[in-house]
């Protein structure tokens, strides 16, 4: 009997070996496939890990949102064609990418690359961006294709991703007799020409340390729909408080109560609209690491300051990082709930432990939020790259009480940090709008804006566009400038970000008084009349932002309800126009506006207007056919804005800040003869009551008889008042 069993096993082994020789898939891992939402499939290989972004999600899948989407389209490959190998020390995932006529986007907050096909990515969180590598403040193992699908690999490890750039062996390679000596290569381009990938290609995720993985597939029919499914799977997009869409001004890092109040008074006296005032490290008694205690030297009466700023209409935001100094009241209770290495002499909180996260959150509630603080800037939760002299890293070999490994914690630290802070506001039924230095996947419900020390204008703009593929928010903040034109163009770009932020934290005087850092530090301020003129120009840019708050707020509502990014790459809306596949310096702002910021000190730029619509210049009324390239000459601080023909744009009278009872007075501007309806959403702007249906939907319609508003919902107050309707005259103009 034993011989029979051995014979059977031997035959089976021979069959497996034979199969392996002919198919080369002998070590592929079996998969379990399930549909977790409409058009979203989960493919599990091996033993997926305990610590991943999906397992720490902040919100459940937004099932209702999936009902707004079209039926899932057929994928360009079978789910069973996604394969996995689990080897000692690594897991490898292979996703088909066989279409030469296909482009790939995503992988998070990439500053150096827009089109991703053919690249090799290293999705590590870092305080710096390294060209086209994929290293960023928000690396996300998710990508989307122009073929109308998305792929997410749920890991907190650091994957290498080969984006259809490997040339696999099919096992049938044979030597061929050379037909000649060939052409000698005399340039790098010629040398690399022979390395172009041919034949079947795949996107390969090489994940060191993993012993299994969950892969999620998101169907179209379009690239945009795949992004929507990913965001809804993540829990839906974040909905900011209305005041979060105003300007945030961050004060000098070594400021005190008097200097903060002087800036606040100056902002109001100069009529620069501003909703948020941020205090930098100097508010704490010890900042590196953090005491989370007010400095008696600089801020001896913090509650008086908070109350005064709140009375002036400012929401106060506090800078911090989650490394706990021994003088902090949290130190003792977190000592056994932290990692085994210190950063700046402070504890590294084990946010993967719910008890540690709650201790951190409860302290913030008791000491800050209950006293009128509206938001936080979660700094230094990224990682300095190897080679830095003073790294604020804890090593990958770190251990934590929860069992999470150091590399996983590094990738997740900013993400879990946000969860802890956000839990405070959710508990109090208040929305917040914060800043964070690092995040990862499944982050779309989190109300925190990424920012960076990288300051290249093109990188800032590209990160804003790339954020739309990955459920991220990006704040292209303004810190300094070498000229007035650069300052105004940077502020104009920031005014079309998810958050508008002036962050001159390292200069002691207001940015309008001197935008050059060195001169500001030396006290070489501009003449008073020039300061006033600068403030007026800044105010004009901010006023444009304020006029768009109802429009932008409703775009965020779509983000929450339907997963549509409020700011997005043009290719999302016009994927059939291949000229949009390469555009990384312009974007859609809501459904009807195409924004093309002026670069650096430029006063002119060319703009491509995609096919599929006619476009009207918001400044001049000039009308262009889609598929047109136009050249726009403007002054610094102005932004080329084109309205999709047959749109209604609600423009509000700007206010100095958004109060809880602000009613926006709106002029509905009509572009085109047969405009589509415009939808506005109104609610209290501060709470989570909208999740219980406490909001109104206003449908703005226009016909030859005039404008009409159809209102539905059960929110019992008014936030919008339509005071006029204005038909915009447009003039047919041909572009170049």
The CATH number of the domain where 521 resides is what?
3.20.20.80
- Give the pLDDT mean for 9-16: 29
State the burial class of residue 172 (Cβ atoms within 10 Å of its Cβ: 0-12, 13-18, 19+).
exposed
What is the tens place of the pLDDT at every residue in 582-628?
999 999 999 999 999 999 999 999 999 999 999 999 999 999 999 99
The answer to whether residue 13 is domain-embedded is no
Same structural domain, 536 and 457? yes
Same structural domain, 229 and 249? no
Percent of the chain with pLDDT over 90: 87
- Give the pLDDT mean for 298-320: 98
The answer to whether residue 200 is domain-embedded is yes
**Statement: residue 329 has pLDDT above 60:** yes
The residue among 499, 525, 558 that closes a domain is: 558
State the burial class of residue 631 (Cβ atoms within 10 Å of its Cβ: 0-12, 13-18, 19+).
exposed
Same structural domain, 399 and 492? yes
The answer to whether residue 15 is domain-embedded is no
Q: Which of the two residues, 185 and 286, has the higher pLDDT score?
A: 286
* Res 731: pLDDT: 82
* Alpha helices (H) in 270-353, listed in sequence order: 302-311, 331-334
What is the tens place of the pLDDT at every residue in 691-728?
999 999 999 999 989 999 999 999 999 999 999 999 99
Yes or no: say if 284 and 254 are a contact pair by the CB < 8 Å rule: no
* Res 667: pLDDT: 98
Residue 289: is the preceding peptide bond cis (ω within 30°)?
yes
Q: What is the domain count for the chain?
A: 3
Yes or no: say if 345 and 319 are a contact pair by the CB < 8 Å rule: no
**Statement: residue 101 has pLDDT above 80:** yes
- Give the pLDDT mean for 136-160: 97
The answer to whether residue 474 is domain-embedded is yes
| Opening angle at CA 377, ends 376 and 380, nearest 5 | 140
* Res 697: pLDDT: 98
Yes or no: say if 615 and 643 are a contact pair by the CB < 8 Å rule: yes
The residue among 181, 202, 234 that closes a domain is: 234
- How many CB atoms lie under 10 A from the CB of residue 221? 17
Rounded Cα–Cα distance for residues 545 and 255 (Å): 28
**Statement: residue 643 has pLDDT above 50:** yes
Same structural domain, 471 and 353? yes
**Statement: residue 19 has pLDDT above 70:** no
Angle between helices 484-494 and 528-547 (to 10 degrees): 20
Same structural domain, 667 and 536? no
- 538-565 in b/e form (b: 16+ CB < 10 A) is bbbbbbbbbbbbbbbbbbbbbbbbbbbb
What is the tens place of the pLDDT at every residue in 421-435?
999 999 999 999 999
Rounded Cα–Cα distance for residues 448 and 472 (Å): 9
- The pTM for the full model equals 0.93
Percent of the chain with pLDDT over 70: 91
What is the tens place of the pLDDT at every residue in 362-399?
999 999 999 999 999 999 999 887 666 666 789 999 99
Banded model confidence at residue 673, pLDDT cuts 50, 70, 90: very high
Give the torsion through C-alpha atoms of 363, 367, 369, 375, to 10 deg: -80
Same structural domain, 58 and 74? yes
The answer to whether residue 572 is domain-embedded is no
The answer to whether residue 176 is domain-embedded is no
Same structural domain, 629 and 611? yes
Among the residue ranges 171-185, 449-463, 472-486, 654-668, the one predicted with the least confidence is 171-185
What is the tens place of the pLDDT at every residue in 47-93?
999 999 999 999 999 999 999 999 999 999 999 999 999 999 999 99
* Alpha helices (H) in 75-145, listed in sequence order: none
Banded model confidence at residue 132, pLDDT cuts 50, 70, 90: confident
* Res 445: pLDDT: 98
Banded model confidence at residue 21, pLDDT cuts 50, 70, 90: very low
Rounded Cα–Cα distance for residues 299 and 185 (Å): 68
- How many CB atoms lie under 10 A from the CB of residue 379? 23
CATH code (residue 64): 2.60.40.1760
- Give the pLDDT mean for 340-369: 98
| Strand ranges (E), 220-314 | 247-250, 276-279
What is the tens place of the pLDDT at every residue in 173-225?
444 455 555 566 666 555 555 456 556 789 999 999 999 999 999 999 999 99
Same structural domain, 693 and 656? yes
- Give the pLDDT mean for 298-309: 98
* Res 200: pLDDT: 74
Same structural domain, 539 and 583? no
The answer to whether residue 456 is domain-embedded is yes
Picking from 156, 153, 179, the residue whose alpha carbon sits closest to that of residue 409 is 156
* Helix, strand, coil abundance in the chain, percent, nearest 5: 30, 25, 45
The answer to whether residue 521 is domain-embedded is yes
Same structural domain, 643 and 541? no
In the chain, DSSP finds a helix count (H) and a strand count (E) of 15, 35
- Give the pLDDT mean for 470-482: 97
Banded model confidence at residue 734, pLDDT cuts 50, 70, 90: low
The residue among 180, 214, 234 that closes a domain is: 234
Mean pLDDT across the chain: 92
- Give the pLDDT mean for 486-500: 98
Same structural domain, 513 and 623? no
Residue 223 is part of which domain span? 28-169+192-234
Same structural domain, 541 and 603? no
């Amino acid at each position: 009997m034993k011989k029979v069993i051995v014979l059977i096993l031997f035959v089976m082994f021979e069959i497996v070996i034979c199969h392996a020789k002919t198919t080369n898939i002998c070590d592929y891992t079996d998969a379990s496939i399930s549909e977790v939402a409409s058009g979203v499939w989960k493919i599990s290989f091996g033993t997926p890990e305990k610590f991943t972004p999906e397992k720490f999600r902040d919100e459940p899948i937004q099932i209702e949102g999936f009902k707004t989407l079209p039926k899932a389209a057929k994928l360009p490959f079978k789910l069973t064609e996604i394969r996995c190998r689990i080897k000692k020390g690594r897991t490898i995932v292979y996703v088909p990418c066989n279409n030469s006529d296909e482009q790939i986007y995503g992988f998070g907050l990439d500053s150096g690359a827009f089109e991703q096909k053919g690249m090799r990515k290293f999705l590590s969180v870092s305080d710096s961006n390294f060209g086209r590598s994929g290293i960023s403040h928000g690396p996300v193992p998710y990508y989307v294709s122009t073929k109308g699908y998305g792929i997410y690999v749920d890991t907190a490890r650091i994957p290498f991703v080969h984006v259809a750039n490997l040339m696999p062996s099919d096992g049938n390679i044979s030597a061929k007799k050379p037909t000649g000596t060939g052409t000698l290569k005399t340039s790098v381009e010629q040398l690399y020409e022979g390395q172009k990938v041919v034949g079947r290609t795949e996107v390969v995720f090489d994940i060191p340390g993993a012993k299994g993985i969950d892969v999620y597939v998101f169907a179209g029919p379009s690239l945009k729909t795949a992004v929507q499914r990913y965001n809804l799977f993540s829990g839906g997009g974040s909905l900011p408080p209305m005041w979060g869409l105003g300007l945030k001004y961050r004060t000098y890092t070594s400021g005190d109560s008097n200097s903060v109040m002087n800036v606040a008074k100056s902002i109001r006296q100069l009529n620069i609209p501003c909703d948020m005032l941020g205090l930098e490290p100097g508010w704490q008694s010890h900042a590196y690491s953090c005491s989370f205690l007010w400095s008696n030297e600089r801020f001896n009466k913090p509650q008086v300051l908070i109350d005064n700023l709140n009375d002036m209409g400012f929401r106060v935001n506090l800078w911090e990082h989650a490394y706990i100094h021994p003088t902090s009241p949290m130190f003792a209770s977190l000592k056994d709930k932290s990692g085994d290495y210190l950063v700046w002499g402070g504890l590294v909180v084990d946010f993967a432990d719910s008890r540690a996260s709650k201790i951190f959150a409860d302290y913030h509630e008791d000491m800050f939020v209950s006293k009128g603080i509206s938001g936080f800037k979660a700094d230094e939760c990224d990682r300095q790259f190897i080679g830095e002299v003073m790294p604020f890293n804890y090593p990958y070999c770190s251990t934590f009480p929860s069992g999470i490994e150091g590399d996983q914690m590094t990738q997740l630290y900013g993400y879990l940090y946000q969860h802890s802070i956000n839990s405070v506001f959710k508990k109090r039924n208040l929305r917040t709008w914060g800043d964070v230095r690092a995040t990862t996947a499944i982050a779309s419900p989190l109300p925190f804006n990424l920012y960076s020390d990288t300051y290249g204008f093109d990188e800032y703009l590209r990160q804003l566009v790339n954020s739309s593929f990955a459920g991220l928010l990006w704040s292209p903040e303004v810190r300094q400038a070498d000229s007035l034109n650069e300052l105004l163009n940077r502020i104009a770009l920031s005014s079309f970000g998810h958050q508008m932020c002036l962050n001159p934290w390292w200069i002691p005087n207001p940015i309008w008084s001197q935008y050059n850092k060195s001169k500001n530090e030396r006290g070489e301020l501009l003449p008073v009349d020039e300061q006033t003129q600068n403030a007026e120009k800044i105010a004009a840019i901010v006023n444009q932002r304020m006029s768009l708050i109802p429009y932008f707020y409703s775009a965020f509502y779509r983000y929450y309800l339907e997963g549509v990014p409020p700011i997005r790459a043009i290719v999302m809306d016009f994927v059939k126009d291949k000229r949009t596949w390469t555009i990384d310096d312009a974007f859609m702002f809501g459904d009807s506006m195409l924004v093309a910021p002026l670069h650096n000190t430029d006063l002119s730029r060319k703009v491509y207007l995609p096919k599929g619509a006619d476009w009207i210049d918001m400044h001049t009324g000039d009308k262009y056919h889609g598929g047109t390239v136009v050249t726009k000459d403007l002054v610094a601080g102005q932004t080329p804005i084109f309205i999709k023909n047959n749109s209604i744009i609600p423009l509000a009278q700007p206010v100095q800040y958004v109060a809880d009872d602000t009613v926006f007075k709106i002029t509905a501007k009509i572009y085109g003869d047969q405009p589509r309806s415009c939808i506005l959403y109104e609610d209290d702007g501060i709470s989570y009551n909208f999740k219980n249906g406490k909001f109104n939907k206003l449908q703005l319609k226009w016909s030859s008889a005039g404008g009409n508003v159809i209102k539905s919902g059960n929110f019992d107050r008014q936030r919008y008042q339509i005071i006029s309707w204005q038909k915009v005259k447009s003039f047919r103009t041909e572009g170049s």
